[in-house]
A and B are shown apart, each in its own frame.
Chain A
Amino acid sequence: MQRIGVFICWCGSNIAATVDVEKVAEVIKNEPGVVFSTNYQYMCSENGQQLIKQAIKEHNLTGIVIGACSPRMHEATFRKAAEAAGLNPYMVEVANIREHCSWIHKDMEEATEKAVILVRTAIAKVKLNAPLTAGESPVIKRALVIGGGIAGIQAALDIADAGFEVDIVEKNSTIGGRMAQIDKTFPTLDCSACILTPKMVDCAQHEKIDILSYSEIEEVKGFVGNFSVKIRRKARYVDETKCTGCKLCMEKCPSKKGLNEFNMNLNTRTAIHIPFAQAIPNVAVIDASQCLKMKTGKCGICQKFCDVGAIDFEQKDTFIDRQYGAIVVATGFKPIDLDNFNEYGYHDNKDVVTSLELERLMNAAGPTNGVLLRPSDGKHPKVITFIQCVGSRDTSGCGKPYCSKICCMYTAKHAMLIREKYPDTEVHVFYIDVRTPGKNYDEFFRRAVEQYGVDYIKGMVGKVYNENGKLMVQGSNLIDNEQITIESDLVVLAAAIEPEPSVRKIATLLTTSIDTNNFLTESHAKLCPVESPTAGVFLAGVCQGPKDILETVSQASACAAKVIGLLVKDKLKSNPCVAMPDEMMCNGCSQCANVCAYGAISYVDKEFRLGGGKTEVRRVASVNPAVCQGCGACTVTCPSGAMDLKGFSSKQIMSEVEAICKM
């Protein structure tokens, strides 16, 4: 006979304010099978757990139901408590009477009635629960970091320093990412390259780090502790092991008209190139769409001049397979396309630039060697107007609804640097709000205004148009309540940032969830901000949400700590809620194996007794519990109903349905 205990949590007033918890506990007492029912302020507290443990022992309970917050929150807590009291942890069910009841309903009677039904449903399920034991799976002591920007670099260095092997997979020919493009960093005005490149070199020299540049993730299989990843090493047409980075090929290459992506297409580069001086690996790459030899078959000059014979026009993409215990996603961001913002005249005027383009225009290694010159005529701009929130905080559908978070600070930085270097320049900034929370951030912004005399104008810009070679910025000044037009030489747009588009494919490969803005979803917004909902996959940097370098580095180190915590374990407990066939019913038809995304199902020949001393050998399905992830696809596919899922059996779900409908 089942002996069920029911524990209703108040969650302070979170549940108790709209659900009459005492009544729920009272009504449930009369349910068949229930021998104990109580309520308590905080079930998850030490005392609450003690109460559960005591009740399990005192009343000899065979199963318990906790009416509390979402099982995604505290199921593990209550399972542990049950285990400590000698009850199998899988004999615990949680009725979600907070997120799915008290928080969404206002009427007490209605919410109480619903809570009773939800608890009854959980009781119906727990009665059919079976004790389960978690299996164990080994941990491969190697981590994969996807993306070689500052997030990936930091995560890789931290993990490698703890003694674990790390591979960085970077789609570009060098690591460094966006931070390598930036001139100075706020709020210290440190030179970005000066603080980034030593870390890049550390990565290259670290014996535990393997940099796979110009590579992409092609396929991911497996699960936490045991991922199997196929990596495409794109043909760079230069032998990485031979190239010395002497750059002679770049001097000789006759095809010089390729747009320089590193300089935000503001100047050109040769077909064979190294993106920037401090590139890691310092190895050339050939742009096949631009190379004369590849396009016409005539040229090959680089090959002739390369002393070490590193050029290989015949190179093909290759694939490597590696195993990892954990994966860090650090794919970063890009500024949005400005196609939806014709009012700013970005596509029509060369002198309307984005902030990242300005960053290159001010960088000593940039197209103008660090001298701020207008792209159109190469003159010094005398009046510069910044426009903030271009596509950020935009609910019209043209841009992004979120705040890109970094623009206020980098605009203040740009304004300050320009006023510092060229004091005769007039600088205006149109803003909606200035948001500068962070250590020394607001002080930094105030310096721009008070010390450097940057003219901040509260208001939005309606139009930027060209009149006799001048850029006319037409906007409103909300403080003075007037329409103004500023005659400018250069207009800088603080374009919103969005996740690097390749993250979509990676999210699909890793089966992690992604939100409507293409940011990867963290496991819990407050308490698990670096874990993805998929075990063993961690998130660092802007792929998870807008953030500056400081936050990115913090998050990357947090990821590393989580990865190290995972990799030091020799074995992981696996989920015991896996599929299991009833061999007496299985006819070996293979349908379940066809739908299994993990290849967890194989077939074995088994001998069955037929009675009368006779036996029969039949082919039946066999599930590898270490590989099965417990989705249940096979259970529905099985035509004979032989396959079932532990913890979510057909009988359990049917009884839940019954409990809900029986009102």
Chain B
Amino acid sequence: MQDVTTEKKEFTPTIVAFCCNWCSYAGADLAGSSRLTYPANVKIIRVPCSCRVNPMFVLKAFQQGADGVILCGCHPGDCHYVTGNYYTRRRMALLYSFLNYMGIEKERTRVEWVSAAEGARFAAVMNDFVKQVTDLGENKRLTDLRVKEGE
């Protein structure tokens, strides 16, 4: 085990970001081409629509040691697939209460709507989320220790 105090000082969270192909992934691309910075610990996974994200993926990420998971999709009403993001919203609301029930900070997960034209917003959201998760500290409750031992 690492020393707790030094670990806290150097703690940079691992963040998994699921971005829909049509709005948020393009928004992230725009953040990039506009050279707007956000921390390197955000890693983006491209999905066709935010509704492709099974809450199981979020739990899987936590199990594997992610400290925060963020889902980004098109703004309500603007979904490329008409209604996909509405499903996302409902599913994630359920997941929040499930996390809450387990005693996990729901601040570790977030759903944000970022359009393809909102590069600045993408960067701002990521900066904010990274800060929020950094303040919460390491995800210890949900990490599967077997995953860590396996390393």
Contacts and interface: CB of A to CB of B under 8 A. Distances in A.
A45 B45 CA distance: 26
Given A631-B51, A653-B57, A508 B78 contact: yes
Report, as a range, how many residues of chain B touch the other chain: 35 or more
Interface stretch (B2-10, B110-118, B130-138): B110-118
Interface string B109-127: 0000001111000010000
Interface string A500-538: 000000011001011110000100000000000110000
A661 B67 CA distance: 9
Number of chain A interface residues as a range: 35 or more
B72 interface: no
Nearest to A107: B40
Interface in B15-48: 16, 21-23, 25-26, 28-29, 31-33, 35-38, 40, 43-48
B97 interface: no
A633 B87 CA distance: 7
A610 interface: no
Contact of B57 (A515, A533, A534, A654): A654
B43 A516 contact: no
- Residue in A103, A514, A534, A661 whose Cβ sees the most chain B Cβ within 10 Å: A661
A260 B83 CA distance: 40
B146 to A, nearest CB: 13
A391 B60 CA distance: 49
Given A114-B43, A577-B48, A70 B57 contact: no
A645 B46 CA distance: 13
Interface string A67-100: 0001110000000000000000000000010111
A175 B21 CA distance: 37
A104 B37 CA distance: 4
21 contacts: A72-B25, A100-B28, A103-B35, A104-B35, A104-B40, A113-B40, A511-B79, A511-B81, A515-B117, A516-B118, A521-B116, A533-B116, A534-B80, A631-B52, A633-B84, A636-B53, A637-B87, A648-B52, A657-B60, A660-B43, A661-B147
Interface of B: 14, 16, 21-23, 25-26, 28-29, 31-33, 35-38, 40, 43-49, 51-57, 60-61, 64-66, 74, 77-84, 87, 91, 115-118, 123, 147, 151
Interface of A: 70-72, 96, 98-101, 103-107, 110-111, 113-114, 117-118, 121, 507-508, 511, 513-516, 521, 533-534, 577, 595, 597, 629-633, 635-637, 645, 648, 650, 653-654, 656-658, 660-663
